[in-house]
Structure 1
Amino acid sequence: MPEVNISGPAGRIEARYHHQPAANSPVALILHPHPQFGGTMNNQVVYHMYYAFQKRGFSVLRFNFRGVGRSEGLFDNGPGELADAATALDWLQAYNADAPSCWIAGASFGSWIAMQLLMRRPEIEGFICVAPPANLYDFSFLAPCPSSGLMVNGAKDRVVPTESVRGLVERLKTQKDAIVDHATVPDANHFFEDQMEGLMEVIDGYLDKRLGKPRPQKGKAKKESAA
């Protein structure tokens, strides 16, 4: 999975990109958790979502927000990170001009940024939010939510309680034209430590429902080890 450097609003954006060679392949952008609490593009949740889209025939991009890893700039508490995500999506779409569809996914802080980008980019037709911090950040901009997607959290998450996520989902369910599914992974904390398999069962199941099951790959599929 090649490393790429994208010219961003604060300087270089460090990224990893998987290109799907098949014509007219869809694209997906994956956003990582809070930069000031150890979030990087090599976060386990981010990595596993990246691979879930890859094996379904997507060209996929994940990157480090400004000030993380080799990405230049300083943490901006939201606005700058949204600009980084918009720039990354521009790059992904320019490199895949014939992509018929676009998805976005994020973990924790990354899901908050992802949903803001969703509101600005009508071409995004699906989303996955893992541990969306509904008790820490304002999601009222989702009025209405323009696309259908999944929100999933851990039952033992002490950072973002299930009640907060459920309340957000219930508000979104009152809106028309978008269906927001909600799932809770038993025994999982905010980081899904030792519960990654349960999380991916939920995410894979949702993607199977929306996109169909991935085609079997010939030979052994190479999977990059996550940090």
Structure 2
Amino acid sequence: MPEVIFPGPEGRLEGRFQPGPRPRAPVAMILHPHPQGGGTMNNRIVQALYQTFAKRGFATLRFNFRGVGKSQGVFDNGVGELSDAASALDWVQSIHPEAQTTWIAGFSFGAWIGMQLLMRRPEIKGFISIAPPANMYDFTFLAPCPSSGIIIQGEADEVVTPGAVQKLVDKLRTQRHITIHHDTIPGANHFFEHEMPQLMGSVDRYLDMRLSQ
């Protein structure tokens, strides 16, 4: 899990990178929760997502948004963070230019940034969105959502209302040619404090299903 430093729009960005085992390895990037709420690339959900993609042979990157850890710059309300994510993806793709496919995964604020990146990068073929903050940010940019993915929500989430996420899922499901999976984890709060095995079980089942196709 080598530490990496790569150029971002506002200076260097700090990350952890697991290179792919072969040149055409698929690429995955994991995005962390809100920097002003203490979110970093070392968040345990971010780390678990990183490990599950790396284990499957993806070239996998997690990184700190601007102003977090050793990443330069200051928090920019999502605008700059989206630019950071685009730069980070460029960097991974420069190492794996022949990647067959690209996935994006994010938790909370990171899920919102990830879904925006999805709209801009047609090479992203799958996404994992954990507790996307549909009650705090506008998700109407997903029109249409360009690829299939899974949205996972805690049933007792006190930060992101399950109803707002359900509305987002219902809206995305009206589209043709993509499939949106939606899992609700019973009893889980926003941070899946006691439900990590159930959360990652949901992620792993979905990845197993998609990658076997």
TM-score normalized by the length of structure 2: 0.98
| Residue 189 of structure 1 pairs with residue 186 of structure 2 | no
Matching residue of 1:56:
56
Cα distance in 2 for partners of 1:3, 1:88 equals 14
> Which residue identity lines up with residue 158 of structure 1 in the other structure?
E
Aligned length: 213
Cα distance in 1 for partners of 2:163, 2:48 equals 25
Secondary structure of 1:181's aligned partner: strand
Return the offset for 1:212.
3.0
Q: Give runs of aligned pairs for residues 111-122 of structure 1, distance below 5 A.
A: 111-122=111-122
Matching residue of 1:206:
206
Matching residue of 1:26:
26
> Which residue identity lines up with residue 136 of structure 1 in the other structure?
M
Matching residue of 2:97:
97
Q: Give runs of aligned pairs for residues 140-219 of structure 1, distance below 5 A.
A: 140-212=140-212
Cα distance in 1 for partners of 2:7, 2:20 equals 22
Matching residue of 2:65:
65
- Identity of aligned pairs, percent? 60
> Which residue identity lines up with residue 107 of structure 2 in the other structure?
A
Cα distance in 1 for partners of 2:65, 2:33 equals 9
For each residue in 1:99-134, what CA deviation from the matched residue of structure 2 results, as whole angstroms up to 9, or x when unmatched? 110000000000000010000000000000000000
Secondary structure of 1:190's aligned partner: coil
Unmatched segments (≥5 aa) in structure 2: none
Return the offset for 1:178.
1.1
For each residue in 1:60-112, what CA deviation from the matched residue of structure 2 results, as whole angstroms up to 9, or x when unmatched? 00000000001010000011000000000000001001111000000000000
For each residue in 1:26-80, what CA deviation from the matched residue of structure 2 results, as whole angstroms up to 9, or x when unmatched? 0000000000001000101111011111111100000000000010100000110
Cα distance in 2 for partners of 1:39, 1:177 equals 34
The question of whether the paired residues in 1 share the 8 Å contact of 2:158 and 2:189 is answered with: yes
Cα distance in 1 for partners of 2:200, 2:187 equals 14
The question of whether the paired residues in 1 share the 8 Å contact of 2:23 and 2:96 is answered with: no
The question of whether the paired residues in 1 share the 8 Å contact of 2:105 and 2:129 is answered with: yes
Cα distance in 1 for partners of 2:139, 2:57 equals 31
Unmatched segments (≥5 aa) in structure 1: 214-227
> Which residue identity lines up with residue 14 of structure 1 in the other structure?
E
Secondary structure of 1:81's aligned partner: helix
Matching residue of 1:84:
84
